[in-house]
Structure 1
């Protein structure tokens, strides 16, 4: 399983189509870190945010492949995360970086 931040959320739909990969996106604004101003105005301790990721890594956790999560709740992704151009752009870059033809 792969648990990603929201910056990688755009990969989740592609991964969800591949049965070999389980991908879940976790919204990063749950944590009060240096990145917080980029995402939100308030957040909890980083350990609290990490606990949400650890919960998703538990084999007993019910995982929906390609899901987006905010803390303990499954949420709808931001519209930009599912827009075609937004999905294709990092996928092409990832393919380029791993040496696959785009």
Structure 2
């Protein structure tokens, strides 16, 4: 069985491609992720994820984070990784401005 963090990371990756609704298990999440990334093995070609996909994933995750989680997400289909990525992107913009 995958570690809880690993499952949340897979959920985050799935949100780059779809809304990720109706996921009831880690296996379902992995199966759906593999539809978008055939042969997914925890390594992803960086050219397969675009800035637009990242923005879409942030927005999808934000919409699912209701009310905003203050601790580790406890339900399938929710992740707070988007907060980290959003902050990294903002910091990168600030550095380049």
Q: Give TM-score scaled by structure 2 length.
A: 0.28
The structure with the largest helix share of the pair is 2
Question: Greater relative contact order: 1 or 2 (C-alpha under 8 angstroms, separation 6 or more)?
Answer: 2
Instruction: Answer with 1 or 2: which has the greater Rg.
Output: 1
The structure with the largest strand share of the pair is 1
Q: Give TM-score scaled by structure 1 length.
A: 0.27
